[in-house]
A and B are shown apart, each in its own frame.
Chain A
Amino acid sequence: MAIRDRVAIVGVGYTDFSKNSGVSTLTLASRAIASALADAGLGVQDIDGLATHRVGDSALPGTLAHSLGLADLAWHLDQFGGGSVSHAVVGQAALAVAAGMAETVVCYRAINARSEFRMGGTGRPPVDAVETQYQAPYGHLAPPQQFAMAARTHMEKYGTTAEHFGAVAVTQRDHAVHNERAMMRRPITLEDYLASRWVVEPLRLLDCCLETDAAVALVLTTTERARDLARPPVLISGAAWGGGFTLYSHGQPDPTVTAAHSLAPRLYSQAGIGPTEIDLAELYDCFTYSVIVQLEDYGFCEKGEGGPFAADGAIALGGALPVNTHGGFLSEGYVHGLNHICEAVAQLRGDAGARQVAGAEVALSTAQPGYVSGQTSALLLRRAL
């Protein structure tokens, strides 16, 4: 039974994005959930499912249920994992709704990623994976290092340049100028990018995402019920996840091909939508390189052409495929994946103000494409007609 268009996103909610929220992840999650329910015109009593993903850094669905006074959740999901499973959380919630296990599910992600739990740093023990023992002793223990390793291979193999990476950073900052929520709104130039300090060569500071304290939440329900709610429903036309090789163990011999490459055809076939019909893409941008490799693996350009595609202006607002219209993790803030879905919903509702993509009908939103964990996930969303 196809998932296509049977479940809708009917509300999105945010907390402030900051470097120090001053509150717990439980508090952040509660606030984002309340905000999303208000957006949907629903109340806490309407929730019968809760889902999140975490890496030991956030409030559990059960804890949230207790806080909200929900004594009997029909369905919940506490998915272990980082950005690679962010879109799988929403996909699995959609399955639960489509299967009738729950009627209204809230997906949330709450992190104090700057003030409490910094990814890959500083002083935090390396990730708990079997393969860590083969990398951490050499000082190779954080995501930027692993992405830098793959980015270097892409540069060597396809001639991708620092200017290509820089084009992604500059373009997304231009988008964030139009986003009141964004943490970084001062425009930057390619010269600013090239002058920014090395983090881990070939990646500079402006190649790297922000570290953010924030929560976001999304409300899902059946498309049928969605038509009676406050906001225009955004339909989940496709939801796919996949992969398997972990790049900790380097089971995937060519690091310039990600798990998204094999996921994309499944996603497109589920939705009956191809890359040429997509109006905008919110691509997981923990690092600039991640955007470039996904432009290729989701079929917007040929393998190796992601750099020139980005640098030629295609990914800018007004270009052929506006990418990360909110500024992405590089400029809006890092909420580990779900803030990309929230932005896609805003665009498809026509709510995106000065950064609105005119006539946006179909959006792709993606998770971390498969480095580190080996897995990825993605959603194809479309405006209800």
Chain B
Amino acid sequence: MSEEFPKPVPVPDRDSQPFWEGVRVGELRVQSCDDCGLLRWPPRDICGGCHAFSWHWRATTGRGTVLSWVVNHQVFSPSFATEVPYTVVTVAINEQSDIQMVGGWCGAGAPRAGMAVRAVYTRFDEETTLVNWEPVDEAPDSRDE
């Protein structure tokens, strides 16, 4: 990372702060509607399914499936100049497939569509932890799967 071009870090807002707090303690949280049970993410106050305002945070398993991926060669931001080529994946979480998250790729090989993955909580600095992804079968405790 370049000192001159710091990487963009998540700046938690009033909706997202508990999500990022969860990530910092190794928990991937989404909201769950108290009325209809629909899960939602990114965080917001109203349920898009039944329009209720009552909800609670729910910790997911941090497991998902790779939907798509890209390999970046172009330097779109100088803060990533030393990282190209790097892979970014889109993952549908196991609990509800329309919740799709973008994150960095930690697998040894290339991702594949449909690959089972798990969240890797990567500490960025004192305040910030990011969610990256790796194949379930490369995880240290994969014998337990």
- Chain A residues proximal to chain B, CB less than 8 Å: 120-123, 125-126, 130-142, 144-145, 148-150, 152-153, 156, 197-202, 249-251, 253, 255
B88 and A253 contact, CB distance less than 8 A = no
Q: How far is the CA of A150 from the CA of B132 in the complex (A)?
A: 20
B10 and A200 contact, CB distance less than 8 A = no
Nearest first, the 9 closest Cβ-Cβ pairs linking A and B are A250-B100, A201-B71, A253-B98, A136-B8, A198-B73, A133-B10, A142-B76, A148-B70, A139-B80
Task: Indicate with 1 or 0, residue by residue over B84-100, a CB within 8 angstroms of chain A CB atoms.
Answer: 01101010100001111
B70 and A141 contact, CB distance less than 8 A = no
Q: How far is the CA of A144 from the CA of B72 in the complex (A)?
A: 10
Q: How far is the CA of A130 from the CA of B130 in the complex (A)?
A: 17
Q: How far is the CA of A135 from the CA of B16 in the complex (A)?
A: 13
B16 and A198 contact, CB distance less than 8 A = no
> Which of A121, A132, A150, A198 meets B77, CB within 8 Å?
A121
> Which of B9, B83, B88, B101 meets A145, CB within 8 Å?
B88
**Can you show 16 pairs from A to B with CB atoms below 8 A apart?**
A123-B77, A123-B78, A130-B42, A133-B11, A136-B8, A137-B124, A138-B103, A138-B130, A139-B7, A139-B72, A139-B83, A139-B104, A149-B102, A152-B113, A153-B113, A201-B73
Given A130-B42, A152-B68, A137:B9 Cβ within 8 A: yes
Extra 16 A-B pairs, beta carbons < 8 Å, given A123-B5, A138-B103, A253-B100: A120-B76, A132-B8, A134-B42, A134-B102, A136-B8, A139-B7, A139-B83, A139-B104, A152-B69, A152-B113, A197-B73, A199-B74, A200-B70, A200-B71, A200-B72, A253-B98
A122 and B75 contact, CB distance less than 8 A = yes
Chain B residues near A138 (CB-CB < 8 A): 88, 102-104, 130, 132
Given A122-B75, A122-B76, A137:B42 Cβ within 8 A: no
Chain B residues near A202 (CB-CB < 8 A): 70
B10 and A134 contact, CB distance less than 8 A = yes
Chain A residues near B124 (CB-CB < 8 A): 137
> Which of B68, B83, B102, B132 meets A156, CB within 8 Å?
B68
Chain A residues near B127 (CB-CB < 8 A): none
A251 and B8 contact, CB distance less than 8 A = no
Task: Indicate with 1 or 0, residue by residue over B25-68, a CB within 8 angstroms of chain A CB atoms.
Answer: 00000000000000000100000100000000000000000011
B73 and A199 contact, CB distance less than 8 A = yes
Chain B residues near A134 (CB-CB < 8 A): 10, 16, 42, 101-102
B98 and A149 contact, CB distance less than 8 A = no
A133 and B70 contact, CB distance less than 8 A = no
B77 and A131 contact, CB distance less than 8 A = no
Query: What is the distance, in angstroms, from A157's C-beta to the closest C-beta of chain B?
Result: 8
Query: What is the distance, in angstroms, from B87's C-beta to the closest C-beta of chain A?
Result: 9
- Chain B residues proximal to chain A, CB less than 8 Å: 5, 7-13, 15-16, 42, 48, 67-80, 83, 85-86, 88, 90, 92, 97-104, 113, 124, 128, 130, 132
Query: What is the distance, in angstroms, from B4's C-beta to the closest C-beta of chain A?
Result: 10
Chain A residues near B68 (CB-CB < 8 A): 149-150, 152-153, 156, 255
Q: How far is the CA of A152 from the CA of B88 in the complex (A)?
A: 12
A137 and B130 contact, CB distance less than 8 A = yes
Majority-rule SS of B interface residues: loop
Chain B residues near A255 (CB-CB < 8 A): 68
Q: How far is the CA of A144 from the CA of B10 in the complex (A)?
A: 21
A133 and B73 contact, CB distance less than 8 A = no
Query: What is the distance, in angstroms, from B62's C-beta to the closest C-beta of chain A?
Result: 15
Chain B residues near A249 (CB-CB < 8 A): 42
Determine the residue in chain A with the shortest Cβ distance to B20.
A133
Q: How far is the CA of A150 from the CA of B128 in the complex (A)?
A: 28
Query: What is the distance, in angstroms, from A256's C-beta to the closest C-beta of chain B?
Result: 10
Q: How far is the CA of A152 from the CA of B112 in the complex (A)?
A: 11
Chain A residues near B128 (CB-CB < 8 A): 137
> Which of B13, B79, B88, B103 meets A130, CB within 8 Å?
B13
Query: What is the distance, in angstroms, from B119's C-beta to the closest C-beta of chain A?
Result: 13
Chain A residues near B102 (CB-CB < 8 A): 134-135, 138, 140, 149, 250
In this complex, the member of A131, A137, A139, A249 whose beta carbon has the largest number of chain B beta carbons within 10 angstroms is A139
Q: How far is the CA of A122 from the CA of B74 in the complex (A)?
A: 10
A200 and B104 contact, CB distance less than 8 A = no
Determine the residue in chain A with the shortest Cβ distance to B15.
A130
Query: What is the distance, in angstroms, from B127's C-beta to the closest C-beta of chain A?
Result: 12
Q: How far is the CA of A251 from the CA of B76 in the complex (A)?
A: 24
B72 and A145 contact, CB distance less than 8 A = yes
Chain A residues near B72 (CB-CB < 8 A): 139, 145, 200
Q: How far is the CA of A184 from the CA of B42 in the complex (A)?
A: 41
Query: What is the distance, in angstroms, from B107's C-beta to the closest C-beta of chain A?
Result: 14
Chain A residues near B79 (CB-CB < 8 A): 139
Chain B residues near A136 (CB-CB < 8 A): 8
A250 and B90 contact, CB distance less than 8 A = yes
Given A134-B101, A149-B90, A141:B8 Cβ within 8 A: yes
